[in-house]
RNA sequence: GGAGAGGUGGCCGAGUGGCUUAAGGCGGCGGUUUGCUAAACCGUUGUAUGGUGUAAAGCCGUACCGGGGGUUCGAAUCCCCCCCUCUCCGCCA
């Protein structure tokens, strides 16, 4: 959520920065409401002040046995006008809140202006594409031949987009989660958290998924709860309505959860295999930081995610999203993409974003400033570190051998207990 | 699902109609003492919002004791509805 005071003082700047996202915010209506709101507050506050005076007079008079009936009469009349004003005020404030909740964050000044992912800016590339002296297979072929991924059975059990990993595939997938968590805990100083996979509306409003994107979520109707689309939601909302001590910042969390996405409207886009799923596993990193440090924190967050890929020796690149490709709540976002030699394309495995105070304002997450001792909103950040399905795809395709077997990267062997997946099992 | 208890400031916790700008404690901040730390002592310390200041400060208001209604000149306090938490029972991994 943007600060209404900032919008009031800088309407044109807000308009043009939102326009860079390709959206036109309803600022005029909002500012009209804001004007009316302030007039109403002035009026009703004046009336309330008068009523408070009258009450004091009545209290004094009734002690001394004076005549209080006319004062009571005036107070009653004022009370009538107050409730009329308050009622209009309530309507206006609710309308303003809904409008504000629907306005996306402002892109940071360093975000490249553009319309689609074609306008994203390549920041850097690490490693080089795996080379083969045979034609590399894609993950679906490998997964089927090795019997470690079973798409049809997931469809039977639930529907398309719900993956089944089998045998060594399941072990490998679980291994990755442990490897991610251990790495972030040991090297990035992230506190590991285990959090609910189902959340309430307030949490989703806090991080920005609601009210605009309800269609993208799985909802449990009877309880009005939602399956999480990312661990960002529970991890960030751990501190909803908190006032955090200055010295407690920064706070780093990491956590594993499955993620559930209806992917409404994206059918037919990328339905192949494990590239776009309704359910997938992910380890997420979340940071709560002092505002002046948040862009440094973003850079280190990206590094922490990349470290995983370097340990696994996966060819990757970092891309800065352009204004038009930016997520709703983000001020700046880097995507990390990995090379899948079978697919012969880049796959997005991580998004690392700085939300500045946007989520903190929605979720009311504050800290006490050192200099003034006054509360202010923290900055929040998060990044995937990492999501398993696309990483598995790239790993299988990168580590495949000419006989159709897949080697396990060295850093994972102590977790898996095997170093090679073959059609007949593991070695 | 059944019964009971409870939701008050950064935290704990008192408070049954006007004296609440919410007692007291903890924490925070400033100071005294001190070789340093600690302890002790003294002082200080709510949030949001409107108006007025070039800004900060200040000043003048208003609201806020889980949420929403009601009674009343006036509600943390009385009444109604809802939400949440805890304890016990039932069911259960």
A387 and A327 in a common domain: yes
Which nucleotide is nearest, taking the CA of residue A82 and each C1'?
B62
**Which pLDDT belongs to residue A265?**
61
- Report yes or no on A112 lying in a domain: no
- Report yes or no on A111 lying in a domain: no
**Which pLDDT belongs to residue A62?**
79
Q: Which of the four pLDDT bands, split at 50, 70 and 90, describes residue A269?
A: low
Which nucleotide is nearest, taking the CA of residue A48 and each C1'?
B62
A184 and A275 in a common domain: yes
- Report yes or no on A156 lying in a domain: yes
A252 and A341 in a common domain: yes
- Report yes or no on A108 lying in a domain: no
Question: Which domain-ending residue is among A49, A70, A101?
Answer: A101
Distance in angstroms, CA of A114 to C1' of B56? 39
Which nucleotide is nearest, taking the CA of residue A244 and each C1'?
B10
Distance in angstroms, CA of A199 to C1' of B84? 15
Q: Which of the four pLDDT bands, split at 50, 70 and 90, describes residue A67?
A: confident
A77 and A161 in a common domain: no
Distance in angstroms, CA of A376 to C1' of B72? 39
> How many CB atoms neighbour CB A410 within 10 A?
11
- Report yes or no on A106 lying in a domain: no
Q: Read out DSSP for A100-156?
A: HHTSPPPPPTTSPP-SSGGG-EEEEEES-----SS-PPPHHHHHHHHT-B-HHHHHH
A261 φ, ψ to 5°? -135, 125
A357 and A285 in a common domain: yes
Q: What would the two tokens of residue A139 be?
A: 């993950």
Q: Give the whole-number percent of chain A exceeding pLDDT 90.
A: 79
Instruction: Please tell me the total count of domains within chain A.
Output: 2
CATH at A421: 3.30.930.10
Q: Kindly provide the ipTM of the predicted complex, given to two decimals.
A: 0.88
A357 and A254 in a common domain: yes
A189 and A73 in a common domain: no
- Report yes or no on A345 lying in a domain: yes
Question: Which domain-ending residue is among A101, A130, A164?
Answer: A101
Let me know if A210 is exposed, middle or buried by CB neighbors in 10 A (0-12, 13-18, 19+): buried
A333 and A275 in a common domain: yes
Gap between the Cα atoms of A258 and A284, Å rounded: 10
A366 and A269 in a common domain: yes
A138 and A81 in a common domain: no
**Which pLDDT belongs to residue A68?**
80
CATH at A30: 1.10.287.40
- Report yes or no on A208 lying in a domain: yes
Most confident of A88-92, A245-249, A301-305: A301-305
Q: Give the whole-number percent of chain A exceeding pLDDT 70.
A: 98
Which nucleotide is nearest, taking the CA of residue A366 and each C1'?
B10
- Name the residue closest to the C1' of B72 by its CA: A76
My answer on whether omega of the bond before A211 falls inside 30° of 0, hence cis, is yes
Distance in angstroms, CA of A102 to C1' of B58? 37
- Longest pairwise C-alpha distance within chain A: 105
- Report yes or no on A110 lying in a domain: no
Footprint of strand B on the protein (CB under 7 A): A 5, 38, 41-42, 44-46, 48-49, 51-52, 54-56, 58-59, 62, 72, 75-76, 79, 83, 90, 243, 372-375
Gap between the Cα atoms of A69 and A73, Å rounded: 6
**Is A179 in a helix, a strand, or coil?**
helix
A336: Cβ–Cβ under 8 A, 6 or more apart, which residues?
A: A302, A305, A306, A309, A316, A317, A318, A319, A348, A349, A350, A351, A352, A386
Angle between helices A168-187 and A294-312 (to 10 degrees): 140
Q: Which helix (H) or strand (E) holds A42?
A: helix A27-64
A359 and A213 in a common domain: yes
Question: Which domain-ending residue is among A45, A68, A101?
Answer: A101
- Name the residue closest to the C1' of B56 by its CA: A372
Residue range of the domain that includes A22:
4-101
Chain B nucleotides close to protein (CB under 7 A) are 10, 18, 28-29, 47-51, 57, 61-63, 69-70, 72-74
A55 and A186 in a common domain: no
Distance in angstroms, CA of A95 to C1' of B79? 31
């Amino acid at each position: 959520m943007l600060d209404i005071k900032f919008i009031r003082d800088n309407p044109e700047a807000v308009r043009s920065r939102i326009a860079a996202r390709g959206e036109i915010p309803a600022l005029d209506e909002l500012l009209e409401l804001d004007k009316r709101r302030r007039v109403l507050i002035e009026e009703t506050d004046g009336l309330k002040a008068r009523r408070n005076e009258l009450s004091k007079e009545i209290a004094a008079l009734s002690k001394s046995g004076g005549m209080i009936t006319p004062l009571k009469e005036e107070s009653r009349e004022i009370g009538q006008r107050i409730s009329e004003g308050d009622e209009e005020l309530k309507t206006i404030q609710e309308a303003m809140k809904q409008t504000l909740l629907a306005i996306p964050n402002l892109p940071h000044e360093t975000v490249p202006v553009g319309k689609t992912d074609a306008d994203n800016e390549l920041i850097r590339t690490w490693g080089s594409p795996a080379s083969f002296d045979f034609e590399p297979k894609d993950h679906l072929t490998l997964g089927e031949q090795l019997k470690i991924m079973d798409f049809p059975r997931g469809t039977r059990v639930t529907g398309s987009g719900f993956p089944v990993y089998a045998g060594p595939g399941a072990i490998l997938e679980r291994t990755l989660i442990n490897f991610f968590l251990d790495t972030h805990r040991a090297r990035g100083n992230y506190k590991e958290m285990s959090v609910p996979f189902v959340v309430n509306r307030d949490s989703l409003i806090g991080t920005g998924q609601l009210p605009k994107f309800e269609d993208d979520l799985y909802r449990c109707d009877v309880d009005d709860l939602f399956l999480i689309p990312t661990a960002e939601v529970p991890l960030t909302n751990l501190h909803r309505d908190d006032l955090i001590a200055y010295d407690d910042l920064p706070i780093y969390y990491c956590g594993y959860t499955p993620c559930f996405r209806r992917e409404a409207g994206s059918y037919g886009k990328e339905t192949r295999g494990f590239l776009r799923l309704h359910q997938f596993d992910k380890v997420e990193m979340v940071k709560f930081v002092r505002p002046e440090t948040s862009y440094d924190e973003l850079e280190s967050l990206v590094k922490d995610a990349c470290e995983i890929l370097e340990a696994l020796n996966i060819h990757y690149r970092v891309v800065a999203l352009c204004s038009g490709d930016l997520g709703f709540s983000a001020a700046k976002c880097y995507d990390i993409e990995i090379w899948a030699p079978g697919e012969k394309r880049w796959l997005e495995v991580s998004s690392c974003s700085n939300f500045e105070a946007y989520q903190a304002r929605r979720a009311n997450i504050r800290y006490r400033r050192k200099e003034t001792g006054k509360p202010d909103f923290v900055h929040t950040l998060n990044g995937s570190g990492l999501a398993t399905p696309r990483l598995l795809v790239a790993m299988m395709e990168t580590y495949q051998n000419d006989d159709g077997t897949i080697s396990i990267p060295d850093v994972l062997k102590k977790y898996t207990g095997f170093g090679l997946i073959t059609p007949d099992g593991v070695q």
